[in-house]
Amino acid sequence: MNNTAAIPAAFAATLPQRARIAALHEEDEDTRTFVFRLADSAPALDAAHPGQFLMLSLLGYGEAAFSFSHLPRAGAEPGTVTLTVRRVGSLTQALFACEIGATVGLRGPFGRGFPPDGAERPTVFVAGGCGLAPLRSAIDVHLRERPAGIPVAIVYGARTPESRILRASLAAWQAEPDVMLMEVIERPTIGWSGRTGLVTDFVREAVRAIEAERAAICGPPAMLRATADALVAAGVAPGAIHVALERYMKCGTGLCGHCYVNARYVCSDGPVFSYAELGTLPDAFIGCGSPPC
């Protein structure tokens, strides 16, 4: 424990909370799910919403933002934090080198997640690649909170069958009543007999099948707008399409300036925005041609 007794409360409150890696699960070569156990109780983290994020700190490597892939609200054990992390930079590289028991720091939760209402409305979830991780907690919370018989569609796009992450969740959703899971593979390999193409090719079918009234999207930047447009074309109102944006973040609290999109901060005004709001933020989709995650 840190000795923070003599530290003014306003400063002590800024410290990352100490946590240890309690479990690890390889999703694919470069994606791993980490379960962290907090050293002290953290009611704010226990109460986090799907789509919110936290800052993970590794001393010597800095901090980076991650969305929750599982949450106490979705059935995870209180006092734990679950993140599904893709190895893309120096901090994630260092995190992948950590073993069970290693200490990290966690700060959060931050931001505005997916709207908590709407469990009674048929909803389509569209995820691309590692975008399934933040959406997983949204889907699980939705499934727990929806009234019986309200249908859900999940459209998940992955590059290859092998690169699909969170397979246990995929299997669990498949087994749920009134859940339509559509896995879409961009580059099928031998043995894949399911859907092939891009998620956008299947959005209309999903919306029709469940008469969807709302949607949530998470994925690489290039996919977000195309998917939102496809949802609108299929009849979902822009205000009912919730898009999780990603930006480089250094503070998480609206101070460092790194995450701004037009006059909004992704960290504190988002990261989830409705597509109607994004219509007023022309910078949201600049640079979407650059490599996806």
Partner 1 sequence: MGAGVLASRAAVDRLRRGLARDRRVIEPRSVDGAPLWVETAGEGAFAWTLAPPLVGVKGWFFPPREPVLAWDGTGAVLPTVPSPDRIAFVGLRACDLAAIAHLDAHFGADPWYRTRRDAALLVGVDCLQACAGGFCIEVDAGPFARAAFDLNLTPLPDGRVVAAWGSAVGRAALADAGVTTKAVDEGTTLLLGELATTAAASFPVRSYVARGLARLNAAPAGAAIADEEWQALGPRCLACTGCTSLCPTCTCFTVVDELDGAGGARARVWDSCLLEGFQREASGHHPAPRPGDRVRRFWYHKLSRDFAGPGGRLGCVGCGRCDVTCPGTIGALGVLAALGGER
User: Would you state the structure tokens that stand for residue 255, as one six-digit string?
Assistant: 């101070």
CB of 129 to ligand FES, least distance (A): 22
Taking CB under 8 A as the rule, does residue 40 contact partner 1?
no
CB of 269 to partner 1, least distance (A): 12
Q: How far apart are CA 282 and CA 289, in angstroms?
A: 15
Near partner 1 by CB under 8 A, which window of 34-42, 117-125, 176-184, 251-259? Answer: 251-259
Residue nearest to ligand FES (CB): 267
User: Among 83, 85, 104, 81, which Cα is nearest to 29's?
Assistant: 85
Select 62 or 151, whichever has its Cβ closest to partner 1. Answer: 62
Judged by beta carbon distances under 5 to 8 A according to partner kind, the member of partner 1, ligand FES, none in contact with residue 15 is partner 1
In the window 200-259, what residues touch ligand FES (CB under 6 A)? 249-252, 254-259
In the window 178-237, what residues touch partner 1 (CB under 8 A)? 220-221
Q: Which residue is associated with the tokens 């339509």?
A: 180
Taking CB under 6 A as the rule, does residue 12 contact ligand FES?
no
Taking CB under 6 A as the rule, does residue 62 contact ligand FES?
no
What would the x/- binding string for partner 1 be over residues 1 to 30, using CB under 8 A?
-xxx--xx-xxx-xxx-x------------
What contacts 214, CB < 8 A, 6 or more positions away? 118, 121, 122, 123, 124, 236, 240, 241, 242
Taking CB under 8 A as the rule, does residue 97 contact partner 1?
no
CB of 25 to partner 1, least distance (A): 21
Taking CB under 8 A as the rule, does residue 60 contact partner 1?
yes
Q: How far apart are CA 22 and CA 213, in angstroms?
A: 39
CB of 249 to partner 1, least distance (A): 9
CB of 189 to ligand FES, least distance (A): 38
Among 45, 251, 267, 272, binds partner 1 (CB under 8 A): 251
Number of residues that bind ligand FES (CB under 6 A): 12
Among 61, 188, 225, 232, binds partner 1 (CB under 8 A): 61
Terminal-to-terminal C-alpha distance of the chain: 36
User: In the sheet where 179-185 sits, what is the strand order?
Assistant: 195-196, 179-185, 152-158, 123-128, 214-218, 241-244, 272-274
Judged by beta carbon distances under 5 to 8 A according to partner kind, the member of ligand FES, partner 1, none in contact with residue 209 is none
Binding site for partner 1 (CB under 8 A): 2-4, 7-8, 10-12, 14-16, 18, 57, 59-64, 86, 88-89, 92, 103, 105, 220-221, 246-248, 250-251, 255-263, 280-283, 286-288, 290-293
